Structure 1
């Protein structure tokens, strides 16, 4: 998925090739997911954009927008595999020699833009996986970030560098008890950091991705803050061109995973391993990223009460050799009142066990959640 630095790259090309020009022709293809999921139609997008002048472009994390001479404006997200192609411009952040990538219009396009001028500029939003989103936001251009979906997301560490301060980060970390990698990936906390950037940041900060955010020391928070701005600023300076990333970066050596006769190691000889954190595969350098505090699964939930532990003990499987409790036998003729009392007492005991077991299950479900 394109992350903060890749979005920075495409905004750069929009400003270079589209800003200041009028869209003389806009073509769209109906897609009830890419447009429809966010309440827009292809026809509405075409009507809103055609004939207007592009006056600007901006970014907040993984979202970007094109501002027009009058509202509404286009706000977009690439999803997993979307991109904006500009004809005869090297917008891609990775190199490809596929013949299909030279075709125009490109495959899987959702909209095509043509501008005035000589030569004219042609651009296309493409998305073969249909996980991208294209919407219209009807507000003044300066207020776009005050509207959905941007207002629900956290600050951008590049655009909002002053906001993402060490003090701000410390408060955010202390208020949450989640693996630090999961916190960085949550766009409601901070915008733009995805899987590879999160791994790169934690590697440079020497922090294990599974460690709980609220257990980081002041010195670790300081290192994390420095690493966030270092990775973000360095990657955007080269417009997300990974060929120009520093050779010592984790990014340059992590992609050998699963390849035959290839090993994932850094130039220093440190081995790169892979674990799952927050549902995402994370690259870790164990020799550098030590666990200095509790991590997910290492400690019991502190909210578990003594009564809940008692219930768990009652539900435990009997040890080997412990006689199993037999079900009450059917009363034989002639057992009389004594047998009936014994059956009644046994039935009450069984109901009590079932009630405790059911409550235990409900409590356990809440703990897991």
Structure 2
């Protein structure tokens, strides 16, 4: 899933290739999930973008936006597998040599844009999993962050560096009793930190991901604060290109290097193990990340090691639908009908999973695709 660093990469390319240009042609394909779930339709999006000039782009964590010459503006997030492709530009954050990835327009596009330049620029928002969201926010460009969904999310550790201070972090951690990894992943606390960034931050801070947030010492919180800004700023400085990440980073070794069926290890020989925290797989270096306080559960360091040849795979996050939630509160007499509806929902999920994932079929390189 694109995290703060990957989203910063696409904002960079929007500014480089689209800002300052007028959209001569916009096409949007209706999707009652990608658009409809956030109160927008493809037709409304197309009308709002057509003929307007793109004047800016910005980011708050995993959300990003394109500001137009007049409201409304487009505010988006990529979900698990969405992305914005710009024709003939190296925007991708994964490597794929599949010929289909070079086709234009690309598969599973939600909108297509063309600029009015003599040498036109073409862009496409794609998402085969349909977990991304595209909405219109009708407000002055400078007020976007004061509106839903951005106002419900926590500060961005890069854009809001002056807010995310050691004191702010200490107050946040002491006010909650949750595993520290889960706290970092909760976008209501801090925007943009996802699974790999959370693991990298905790590794550099030498903090075990299962330890409760309110048990960390003052010194540990200071280390965590330093690690947050170090990992975020370093990954953004190289536009999330993992080949340019420091060699000692956990990221460079967590995806599985070495002999088949052998534990993943760092260059210094430290073993990387894996456990589940808050429903997400976490990479941990037990020799570095010690438990110094109460944890969510005991962790057997030898039990959950993942073979070194394991590969990172994107997987959809299955959430309870509105219809399933309603069924849960119905009386038992509705049990048969409820079961049928849940079965239908699962069937839809299975059909969605059968669709080819062009992105995930490529070898993970994090942020760059050779063109």
Q: TM-score, normalization: structure 2?
A: 0.79
Mapping of 1:192-271 within 5 angstroms?
192-256=192-256, 260-271=260-271
Q: Is the 8 A contact 2:7 2:59 kept in 1?
A: yes
Q: Residue 90 of structure 2 aligns with which residue?
A: 90
Give runs of ≥4 in structure 1 deviating > 2 Å: 257-263
Q: Give the SS at the match of 1:253.
A: helix
Q: What RMSD in Å do the two structures reach over aligned CA positions?
A: 1.2
Q: Residue 21 of structure 1 aligns with which residue?
A: 21
Tell me by how many angstroms 1:262 deviates. 4.7
Per-residue CA shift, 1:196-248, capped at 9, x if unaligned? 00000000000000000000001100000000000000000000011111111
Q: Give the SS at the match of 1:288.
A: coil
Per-residue CA shift, 1:96-146, capped at 9, x if unaligned? 211111000000000000001121100000001000000000000000000
Task: Indicate the structure (1 or 2) with the bigger Cα radius of gyration.
Answer: 1
Tell me by how many angstroms 1:149 deviates. 0.3
Mapping of 1:92-241 within 5 angstroms?
92-241=92-241
Tell me by how many angstroms 1:263 deviates. 3.2
Q: Residue 275 of structure 2 aligns with which residue?
A: 275
Q: Equivalents in 2 of 1:260, 1:23: separation in Å?
A: 50
Q: Equivalents in 2 of 1:32, 1:4: separation in Å?
A: 26
Tell me by how many angstroms 1:258 deviates. 11
Q: Is the 8 A contact 2:152 2:188 kept in 1?
A: yes
Q: Equivalents in 2 of 1:297, 1:204: separation in Å?
A: 22
Q: Residue 359 of structure 1 aligns with which residue?
A: none
Q: Equivalents in 2 of 1:259, 1:280: separation in Å?
A: 25
Change (3 A) 1:263 1:203: same
Q: Equivalents in 1 of 2:294, 2:19: separation in Å?
A: 50
Q: Equivalents in 2 of 1:262, 1:244: separation in Å?
A: 26
Change (3 A) 1:75 1:245: same
Q: Give the SS at the match of 1:207.
A: coil
Instruction: Tell whether 2:36 aligns with 1:32.
Output: no
User: How many residues were matched structurally?
Assistant: 298
Q: Equivalents in 2 of 1:32, 1:94: separation in Å?
A: 28
Q: Residue 56 of structure 2 aligns with which residue?
A: 56
Q: Is the 8 A contact 2:210 2:297 kept in 1?
A: no
Tell me by how many angstroms 1:257 deviates. 8.4
Structure 1 spans left out of the alignment, 5+ residues: 299-369
Q: Equivalents in 2 of 1:263, 1:208: separation in Å?
A: 19
